Chains A and B, each alone.
Chain A
């Protein structure tokens, strides 16, 4: 039962990047599990391995060793095509930047994933509009990404990430390019989505304000889990004090 409740299960995940002759060890054996419906922040200084971790959980990148199980699928056993399918059906992504396809309107961007999933046009449109309304972009269906502000673009990205009800939404520094007020708005919205749609959210950040929104905070340092706290009141991390 307890296993079933975990959407993500990582066991001793290691990953190194080779740069010329130099080996950069990004992850040094991360073990963690994330429950369904969680709203988790991966925090840590720059270069600690947050992006790498999210990419591996999302099947965009593969671990050198260790096990990664997402929604019951062991990623290390899957082909590229199966991974693509997993991303399509089970995972929603929000990247730090460049989230939207520039030639498509906001509505089309949100519809795009459903198009790949083979959802009929009418239903696609209806659901895309509903989710854009949810994120407060009811007037901007037909705008191209270039005609939207950074915050609006990120909201479209969140809308796209959750529109097909994935089991998990991975967001890599979703607020990094936003001012604190807009960032707060986006986090508010994600939190609502988490509560209303019961979607699991895992996001990375090194912004203290963002961490305050999380219900669980995993601190990563030098490719290792340095601390892992569930919020009861507030977090207290030695490194930030």
Chain B
């Protein structure tokens, strides 16, 4: 009984924690510019050079308009690799030209600026950089930063921007990697004439990712490539699978421990009643009835244990859903795998149902052993037992 309670509780609680962790990681990855789905010009993913830009945004726009479910947000972007430099330092960055209004609805940058301000619509010189980059470049708000990259004609384009805002991100790497300017500014600098690098789409419901991705793939001309976040964040998807596997492993471990508990309890109950079973058999009770009797008993044991375990599990999740578990002390380590600094447990109905179903079915299965044992006593042996 206690084994069942602890088992169910830990399965639900730890399951929710892990689910929360994974969902956070995905959310993080998706909000860090990825989105749920991206559209690129063919070849851009393998070779993200300026030549692989999207020229006719209109085709894509009309396809998106007809295909995307309501509530979906999307934004075009210019995105190139470049070098940022000031008097002291220089380093590679990814220059992202955004539509400030649309971008804010899709990625984290809209609400990540902690110093200065966000970009305005037609701003020419403003640039947003991460806190980590500022520190590394030993610069600050209001100073200049020179960006260099290859333009459409193969020349090195270089342009000086003024730092108007500093953003924070969950991960330091993000802060160091990205620098944001307006799309206009980027297009002008790179002589793109209205071309863009990618379209990033954020769905209202992540579950629709695959369906929408496939629909877009079918509709858009072959000059474009459509990728879901699963393709775009292969490491994250791999982690997710790993976590899923880990969760199963955890279930297994819990279950084995619990299984022993159940078998033990039931065997003890059976041995305690060995004379009674013997008597019942002597009186003409069929072995099958005895099996049913024992199984019914473990059924009640399981149901009660599960009820308590579920209640405890959901209560502990509820208790933590307000504040979460703060991992910031471990942030340096967790950041490495893209985890959030604070974990909020996430209860998924599927996980809870799985845990319960598994405990229940396997619980009854392991009870078959004591039940069969009870049924196998011959009345003579059982009655001789004192």
Contact = CB atoms under 8 A, between A and B. Distances in A.
Contacts of B280: 101
B379 interface: yes
Among B276, B279, B285, B287, max chain A CB count under 10 A is at B279
Nearest to B289: A116
B118 to A, nearest CB: 75
Contact of A98 (B285, B286, B380, B383): B383
A102 interface: yes
Contacts, number: 48
Contact of A87 (B275, B276, B282): B282
Interface in B101-150: none
B283 interface: yes
10 nearest interchain CB pairs?
A88-B284, A87-B284, A60-B379, A61-B380, A84-B286, A84-B284, A60-B380, A98-B275, A55-B380, A93-B282
B287 A81 contact: yes
B284 A101 contact: no
Contacts of B383: 95, 98
Among A89, A91, A101, max chain B CB count under 10 A is at A101
Contacts of A160: 283
Contacts of A116: 283-285
Contact of B287 (A58, A80, A91, A99): A80
Contacts of A87: 282-284
B284 A113 contact: yes
A86 B286 CA distance: 11
A85 interface: yes
A128 to B, nearest CB: 14
Interface residues of B, number: 15
B316 interface: no
Interface in A98-151: 98-102, 112-113, 116
Given A61-B378, A61-B380, A93-B282, A101 B287 contact: no
B227 interface: no
B283 A112 contact: yes
A98 B274 CA distance: 12
B208 to A, nearest CB: 57
A219 to B, nearest CB: 23
A88 B379 contact: no
B341 interface: no
Interface string A38-75: 00000000000000000100101100000000000000
Contacts of B40: none
A173 B17 CA distance: 65
21 contacts: A60-B378, A60-B379, A60-B380, A61-B378, A61-B380, A80-B287, A81-B286, A84-B284, A84-B285, A84-B287, A85-B286, A87-B284, A88-B283, A91-B284, A95-B282, A95-B383, A98-B275, A99-B279, A112-B283, A113-B283, A160-B283
